[in-house]
Amino acid sequence: MKAEDLKSVVKEKYGAIAKQNVLSNQSSCCGNSGCCGELEFSMIGDEYANIEGHNPDADMGLGCGIPTEFAQIKKGDTVVDLGSGAGNDCFVARALAGENGKIIGIDMTESMIEKARENNQKLGYGNIEFCLGDIEDLPLADNTADVVISNCVLNLVPNKDKAFAEIYRILKPEAHLSVSDIVLKGELPEKLKQAAEMYVGCVSGAMQKDDYLKVISNSGLVNIKVQKEKPIDVPDSVLLNYLSPQELIEYKQSGIGIFSITVYAEK
């Protein structure tokens, strides 16, 4: 698929998710799996419920980590959330940055921006804004952010070099990022790579872990640290939608893995 086709798939799927109510979303494949296709498994597992700022109305169950956990957000910081969805990580960031901080959520899906703005209107926060934008071409000035966060989104961006170059551009000198994302160890079978549902489910869009960290390094960011890593186990019932029984056996014996990582890096 071409880059623009992939973006269209992502917008279509996440637009459909945004139009569901949260309760039905979290109980369907479009909730915890981060997809809207045949994948019916939870990719997340990190629990937001006891985190200050968590808003159940804004938690669509689409993350693969909690980037704010390691983001070192201080009072008064300007925080940019890339792929902000319905706003959950923005509200958590706002609890850390306080009333004097500024939180900017960027998302390319119109219906997600609309839902995030509705959630923020209910809360009445004047220091959070949600903007429509493409991560490969951010609608922000140079040196805007003290902290950039993102949760299971950058792996969906076709040109990750451009995405991290943009992150570098909008970070202030000596500022930093904290992003949770999906990466691979070993090559996925071709049938999984080509499945659009798997792409939006945060698997086929993923890079090899070492390559992902290299892209971050190539952008100019330094002091790169993987703060958290956990394996994601895809059930056989899901894999059999894409692989034959024999291919499944070979895949499981190959040592190939899908992982969630949370990465910190500095400008």
C-alpha closest to that of 162 among 123, 136, 180: 136
Q: How confident is the model at residue 98 (pLDDT cuts 50, 70, 90)?
A: very high
- The mean pLDDT of 25-40, rounded to a whole number, is 40
pTM of the model: 0.83
pLDDT digits (tens, 9 = 90+) for 155-205: 888 899 999 999 999 999 999 999 999 898 888 788 777 664 555 555 656
DSSP 3-state of 164: helix
C-alpha closest to that of 216 among 149, 182, 267: 267
C-alpha closest to that of 66 among 249, 235, 266, 261: 261
Place of tokens 């997809």: 35
Tell me: pLDDT of 112 over 80.
yes
Confirm if 19 and 111 have CB atoms less than 8 A apart.
yes
The C-alpha atoms of residue 216 and residue 69 are separated, in whole angstroms, by: 20
Tell me: pLDDT of 40 over 50.
no
C-alpha closest to that of 93 among 55, 47, 142: 55
pLDDT digits (tens, 9 = 90+) for 55-90: 888 887 778 889 999 999 999 999 999 999 999 999
- Residue 222 carries which DSSP code? E
Which is more confident, 48 or 197? 48
Domains of the chain: 3-266 (3.40.50.150)
What value does the CA radius of gyration of the chain take, rounded to a whole number of Å? 18
